[in-house]
A and B are shown apart, each in its own frame.
Chain A
Amino acid sequence: MDIAWPVGYNPTIMHGIRPLLWAAVAIALSVRLTAQAPPQTGQYDRTQITAGGILYGQCVACHGPNGDQIPNVDLRRGQFPTVVSDADLVRLLATGKPASGMPSFPMLRTDEVTALIAYIRSGFDAMGAAMKIGDPARGEALFSGKGGCATCHRVNGNGPYSATDLSEIGLIRKPTSLERALVDPTASIIPANRSVRAVTRDGRTIRGRRLNEDYYTIQLIDEQSRLVSLAKADLRSFEVVQTSSMPSYATTLTADERADLIGYLLSLKGR
């Protein structure tokens, strides 16, 4: 049942399911409020999303049922004029943006603010996932520092070419798929980004990222960032590697650090 259908979208239907809805919310809130431990996955949990859905009723008059009624703002798709991280959203709710007509909501409790952010980050989908989005500046530091991402990935003309160029990753990936890629790279690599391994007849191994291939030849950029074209007839073996050469960050980065990294990646929208 669509318990994530929280706000006056269709009064007739809403009337019918309202008792059910309130029951669900009551259960959800009680669960949420008794289990105060922060989530470890970098995601908001479903009870938070559900509770946020109820709270969104206060926003619907201006933002609309789909969150896209204000020009240049699309809450469901995560499009904001200035907001990037969750912390930005917390600040915005606390202070409002009087110049553009956004009121402040000082009456909201911290857990209610969190719930509202969870609902927004879920894309208004109670059955979906809602990623925490951290601070892009801290994320950038992790990208070139502790995370070691910059040793393989290239951004805005800097870095090696062996892994995919991330200059526009913020335009083409959602937070949830970025989190999945960080936690389980092999499961989430898209087939076109798989690396290839070729062994020449003289036993030399060439690894790289495939750029183009046909029946007789393969074009790749190797780990030394060289454009290489190989004739398959000159190879002893050739395979598309099913595992990602990227390490998992499930344990080497904390959930908050991954959220920061995701905040940075989402800010990469090309130039």
Chain B
Amino acid sequence: MKKLTKLFVGLLLVAATYRLDAQVTADRILRAADEPQNWLTYSGGYASQRYSLLRQIDTTNVKNLELKWMMQNQVFGPWETSPLVVDGIMYLTQRPNDVIALDAKTGRMFWLYRYTNSGRQTVCCGAENRGVAILGDRLFMGTLDAHLVAIDTKNGKPLWNVQVADDKLAYSITVSPLVVKDKVIIGVGGAEYGIRGFVAAYDAKSGREVWRFYTIPGKGEPGIETWSGEAHEHGGGSIWVTGSYDPALNLTYWGVGNPGPDYNPDQRKGDNLYTDSVAALDADTGKLKWHYQFTPNDPYDYDSVQVPVLADLMWKGSMTKAMLFANRNGNFYVLDRENGRFLSGTPFVKVNWMSGWDEGGRPILTPQPPGMSTYPGNQGGTNWYSPSYSPRTGLFYVSAWENYGSIYRKENTPYQAGRRFNGGGFQVTAPNPDAPGMRRYPINVWTDAVGRGAVIAIDPKTGQPKWKFPMYDVTDGGILTTAGDVLFTGNREGYFHALDARTGNVLWKSQLGGAIMSAPVTYSVDGKQYVIVNSGNVMATFALRE
């Protein structure tokens, strides 16, 4: 018996030191839920629920979390990456396009790959990168100068590098790719500069483009009738947040960004498909299976790039393959993800740009008179911040900006290659001239008139909030939930919060000193569960005290 115990302990040690080193096959990504110790896609799995089955950290012991390690970004600025973790090794990006492999247990680096951008890349909203995708022994990263690079997981050396689009026309890539089967799916940004957006799939082995779906139809294609004149040529429709995939339907779902010019719909009369829509594409061919447009002829910059969350729900008595979508336009939607049918819509913040939906799910528009506030404002009721869905609580969680409005103005803007193509602008609704705008002073002087942040737990069946966790400042933090019924999120104030996923009560918090602009991830190494989040310039990792 003693001998056996010794052998067993020995085996455990072997397992502990010699980590599993199997390649990340497409099948493993498909069954990501079978290995909750790992985090294999941007949102933790194809359903994009950002929900983990790990339960070592739960509502009773989360108060015992302690800091395990930190890493500092070499380049200052909001850090929006979401790391992957594979068998104890973490792969992440730092600004602008560095890729790092490190020991997820200690934070110590194995290698760093530094991609050199062209130097002429143009991005509207920061030199962001939201992370890598993995397949086999390769990582995939989109770059600010609109290339897609395959990188060797072992040594960080580039294996191929293809141009996805022309950065001289202000195309850029900030989105983390999604690997489906043998393909790497990625999209382009630049709708503030009059690009014509697309989603494209590349062969993971060779880097060859396999298919491309333009988010703005071309001449002779269906949907072109929703654009006046030649407006479709610079119609925008960026892809900058990672989509989802349903293997049973073989459909990949991508939220599409705003039309261009952003604020002047007079320059692009019509619904402007497929901007502000979710598009369901055949994963093998890129053919459009269905679409649903959240905001037709959008004058508010309501990108619909939010993560499409896939969940199977009992809907009016029958099991339904649903898509849960909390949109920048302030509404929470339930769609049938087989066919795009509108099942329900409910505002989760103050909304006055529309007053409801017709039977087909088209919004009834109520544009506000010039000079009056539109709700939600320019940054939206929510934005790119990852939502979460817990199958245990049945609740959908979203980071929201409540009671937040903007006053819009439109002006004619001619298209100039590679230049800003905004068609106007906006200002935040606020009663005094010193009220803060989007870019903040170090000391927070936020006011009620501008709005507040909150985590809202929505019951998808009713669209109604089950609970709310209010914040003083607004929030750009994504949300993670776990089978331990803990909800992790952060905010601009720099707090990393653990909430009770059933009640919204604060269980634990830590002030990390910088705005949290990405979503937490959880993983486990050698039987210990870790939670990681970026705050300002720092990536901080927590686990239970020994």
A contacts, CB < 8 Å to B? 154, 157, 161, 165, 167, 200-202, 204, 206, 211-212, 214, 216-217, 219, 221, 224-231, 234, 271
Contact = CB atoms under 8 A, between A and B. Distances in A.
A92 B150 CA distance: 40
Contacts of B158: 271
Contacts of B155: 154, 161, 165, 221
A204 B157 contact: no
Contacts of B40: none
Name B's interface SS.
mixed
Contacts of A221: 110, 154-155
Contacts of B106: 216-217, 229, 231
B10 interface: yes
Nearest to B109: A212
B104 to A, nearest CB: 9
A157 B154 contact: no
Contacts of B9: 202
A227 B101 contact: yes
B441 interface: no
A225 B105 CA distance: 20
B419 interface: no
**Interface hub of A165, A217, A228 (most chain B Cβ within 10 A):** A228
Contact of A157 (B19, B105, B111, B152): B152
Contacts of B109: 211-212, 219
Contacts of B318: none
A227 B154 contact: yes
B1 interface: no
Nearest to B106: A217
A202 to B, nearest CB: 5
A255 B105 CA distance: 49
B14 interface: yes
A211 B154 contact: no
Contacts of A226: 18-19, 21
**Interface hub of B9, B19, B110, B158 (most chain A Cβ within 10 A):** B110
Given A219-B103, A221-B154, A229-B103, A204 B14 contact: yes
Contacts of A211: 109-111
Contacts of A206: 17
B108 interface: yes
B384 to A, nearest CB: 31
B13 interface: yes
A213 to B, nearest CB: 8
B297 to A, nearest CB: 47
Nearest to A227: B110
A161 B153 CA distance: 11
A49 B430 CA distance: 82
B439 to A, nearest CB: 37
Nearest to B86: A227
Contacts of B19: 226, 228
Interface in B402-456: none
B364 interface: no
Given A157-B159, A217-B103, A229-B106, A201 B18 contact: no
Interface string B62-90: 00000000000000000000000000110
A161 B154 contact: yes
Given A212-B108, A219-B103, A234-B17, 14 more contacts: A157-B152, A165-B155, A200-B13, A201-B13, A202-B10, A204-B17, A212-B109, A216-B106, A219-B108, A221-B155, A227-B89, A228-B18, A228-B19, A229-B88
A240 B17 CA distance: 19
B205 to A, nearest CB: 11
A127 B201 CA distance: 58
A200 B17 contact: yes
Contacts of B10: 202
A217 B103 CA distance: 10
Contacts of A228: 17-19
Interface string B96-134: 000001010110111100000000000000000000000
B16 to A, nearest CB: 8
Contacts of B111: 211
A228 B10 CA distance: 18
Contacts of A202: 9-10, 13-14
12 contacts: A154-B155, A157-B157, A165-B157, A167-B157, A200-B13, A204-B17, A206-B17, A212-B108, A214-B108, A228-B17, A229-B106, A229-B110
Nearest to A218: B108
B7 to A, nearest CB: 10
A229 B155 CA distance: 14
A161 B10 CA distance: 28
A230 B108 CA distance: 10
A201 B13 CA distance: 9
Contacts of B88: 229
B27 to A, nearest CB: 21
Interface in B454-479: none
A157 B155 CA distance: 10
A230 B17 contact: yes
